[in-house]
């Protein structure tokens, strides 16, 4: 019994002990080279045509003995990558017409995520014919990697240093009659939850790394003056005004909240604040910068609508971290990722 208690105490204090032995930095993100592979989360049962592995599976090792920290999410998808056989090109799934639907590949510290929206939407229907989403009130395919971060209070750091690299291999838009750029797109983004430790409530901090419709992203929030009478999209954190940010729901106007979702506020960061290059050019692009000022701005923004979120950064930490595709159109696209880190710096 005593050895069990001792083991529990060691496990409980491990993050603090690591912080003490590395006074300048505390790693929040683990296995940024994807050496331990991924744990595959089966698709949800949103579509009657879903085909999935019943038991939890891991890739590249099926028995999960490497204990991956990364989860591979397949929200809004039909086929389960865990049912695919391994090939020289990784793990591939095809629809009934033989079109590649999605692919996962590991090589030399890289991970490749490929998805074909046309095949995804075709697989939802018995006739195999892809149909565009009429609007954003319905689920769309997600193909992303996520992990729970090491929990460190925001007040215990002076910076949250993000770094990594991303490369767009290709994006074939495959547009058809009915295409609407306001609805149909391929986006690759980074998203994190900023958690209120008092209540467990949270908001989203997002960084779009690629959007086939735009060369770069701006702030997703507005700032408002004169009591909310005049609102505009800011260019810098220091621009004047009170934040007004969307929730994780979509309608004709985002504040109408017509699409069900997490219902949490989204604080979107401008891509050029962190990206060192043009991802549309197809070369490796470095992503680097300090997230902490944007987390603090997000706290200020969420407090405008919900005062149960305290002002003091002592009461916050970063929870979930994810990187991946959201595809609402027929795009067939692929990216590679390598060398991702998120460190809390003193």
Instruction: Classify residue 12: in a domain, yes or no.
Output: no
pLDDT greater than 70 at residue 214: yes
Query: Comparing 61-65, 120-124, 191-195, 208-212, which segment has the lowest mean pLDDT?
Result: 61-65
Instruction: Classify residue 13: in a domain, yes or no.
Output: no
Give yes or no for a contact between 149 and 28, defined as CB atoms under 8 angstroms apart.
yes
Could you tell me the residue range of the domain that residue 190 belongs to? Answer: 30-345
Instruction: Classify residue 11: in a domain, yes or no.
Output: no
- Rounded CA-CA distance 85/34 in Å is 20
Residue 138 pLDDT: 84
Q: How many domains does the chain have?
A: 1
- Rounded CA-CA distance 281/107 in Å is 22
For residue 73, count other CB atoms closer than 10 A to its CB. 20
**Residue 64 tokens, joined:** 């999960």
- For the stretch 25-78, pLDDT in tens is 999 999 999 999 999 999 875 555 555 555 679 999 888 888 999 999 999 998
CA 171 to chain centroid, in Å, comes to 19
Helix, strand, coil tally for the chain in percent (to 5): 15, 35, 45
Instruction: Classify residue 291: in a domain, yes or no.
Output: yes
Instruction: Classify residue 8: in a domain, yes or no.
Output: no
Local confidence band at 261 (pLDDT 50, 70, 90 cut-offs): low
Beta-strand relationship, 100-107 and 186-196: unpaired
Instruction: Classify residue 24: in a domain, yes or no.
Output: no
pLDDT greater than 50 at residue 317: yes
Instruction: Classify residue 195: in a domain, yes or no.
Output: yes
Residue 236 pLDDT: 95
Give yes or no for a contact between 20 and 26, defined as CB atoms under 8 angstroms apart.
no
For residue 272, count other CB atoms closer than 10 A to its CB. 12
Q: How far is residue 211 from each of residues 74, 187, 216, measured CA to CA in Å?
A: 19, 4, 7
Percent of the chain with pLDDT over 70: 86
Residue 292 belongs to a domain with what CATH number?
A: 2.60.120
Beta-strand relationship, 100-107 and 90-94: antiparallel
Q: What is the largest CA-CA distance in the chain?
A: 69
- Rounded CA-CA distance 84/90 in Å is 9
Give yes or no for a contact between 206 and 268, defined as CB atoms under 8 angstroms apart.
yes
Q: Which residues pair with 192 in a beta bridge?
A: 205, 321
Residue 18 pLDDT: 46
Mean pLDDT in residue range 323-329: 97
Residue 209 pLDDT: 98
Instruction: Classify residue 20: in a domain, yes or no.
Output: no
């Amino acid at each position: 019994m005593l050895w069990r208690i001792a083991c529990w105490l060691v496990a409980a204090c491990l993050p603090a002990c690591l912080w003490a032995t590395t006074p300048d930095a505390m790693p929040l993100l683990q296995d940024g080279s994807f050496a331990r592979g991924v744990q595959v989360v089966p698709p949800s049962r949103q579509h009657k045509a879903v085909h999935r592995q019943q038991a939890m599976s891991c890739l590249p090792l099926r028995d999960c003995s490497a204990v991956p920290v990364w989860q591979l999410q397949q929200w809004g998808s039909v086929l389960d990558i865990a049912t695919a056989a391994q090939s020289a090109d990784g793990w591939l799934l095809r629809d009934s017409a033989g079109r590649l639907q999605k692919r996962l590949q590991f090589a030399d510290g890289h991970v490749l995520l490929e998805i074909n929206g046309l095949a995804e939407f075709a697989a939802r229907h018995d006739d195999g014919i892809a149909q565009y989403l009429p609007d954003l009130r319905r689920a769309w395919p997600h193909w992303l990697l996520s992990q729970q971060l090491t929990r460190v209070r925001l007040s215990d750091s002076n910076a949250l240093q993000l770094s990594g690299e991303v490369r767009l291999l290709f994006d074939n838009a495959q547009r058809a009659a009915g295409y609407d750029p306001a609805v149909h797109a391929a986006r690759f983004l980074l998203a994190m939850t900023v958690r209120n430790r008092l209540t467990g409530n949270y908001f989203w901090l997002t960084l779009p790394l690629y959007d086939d419709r735009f060369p770069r992203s701006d702030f997703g929030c507005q700032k408002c003056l004169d009591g909310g009478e005049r609102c505009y999209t800011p260019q810098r954190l220091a621009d004047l005004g009170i934040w007004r940010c969307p929730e994780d729901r979509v309608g004709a106007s985002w504040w109408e909240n017509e699409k069900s979702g997490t219902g949490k506020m989204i604080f979107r960061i401008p891509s050029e604040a962190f990206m060192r290059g043009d991802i549309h050019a197809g070369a490796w692009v470095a992503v680097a910068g300090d997230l902490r000022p944007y987390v603090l701005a997000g706290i200020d923004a969420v407090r405008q609508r919900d005062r149960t979120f305290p002002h003091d950064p002592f009461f916050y930490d970063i929870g979930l971290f994810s990187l991946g595709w959201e595809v609402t159109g027929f795009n067939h696209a692929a990216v590679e990722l390598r060398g991702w880190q998120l460190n809390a710096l003193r």
